[in-house]
Amino acid sequence: MTTKGMNQSRRSLLKRGLWLTAGAVGVGAGAGAGAKLAGDERETTLRVDGRNFRLQIQDRLPGERLRVGDRGVVYGELLDTSGGAFGTFYGSRVAVESTPGSLVADGALESHTFRLPAGTILGIGSHVEGESVFSIIGGTGAYAGARGSYSSSQRLREQGGDGTAEFVLNLTA
């Protein structure tokens, strides 16, 4: 098979995987979004909720103020539209100050992995209180070659939240 044929097969597989997963988690559930054909590419919006989101930082107690440079991990369960466990979320973060000179670690640089039945989606970006936007930098399985962006709202228990999260992923295949 030629390189061009392999790329077309991979693109076809990615498109099928995106549609399959979109149907499983509910395309744009509650967000009024959908998928559309854009030339030879498809844009798919996935809404994924999370529960049991936790933050672990070595030598820090829950609720203790973070210091610039603190490194930690975030993890939790991803849910389908019926509220059942659908996948897992893993992230790493480094605490930063969002306003230079503030001396308060109120933001973070983060990398994310969404582990789903059809493969993984990888993202990276910066987090500040509330909702943040991240870049999709790739994936595996049905998401190989995925790109796009997603919004993230995480309410970590260790920072006073209820352990829930919402993600709205805008994928292009």
The DSSP secondary structure of 110-128, one letter per residue, reads EEEEEEETTEEEEEEEEEE
* pLDDT 10s digits, 64-79: 778 888 999 999 999 9
**Structural domain 3-172, CATH architecture:** Beta Barrel (2.40)
Task: Kindly list the domain boundaries of the chain, sorted by start residue.
Answer: 3-172
- C-alpha span between 113 and 139 (Å, rounded): 9
**Does 41 score more than 60 pLDDT?**
yes
Per-residue pLDDT band at 39 (split at 50, 70, 90): low
Which pair of tokens denotes residue 18? Answer: 């995106």
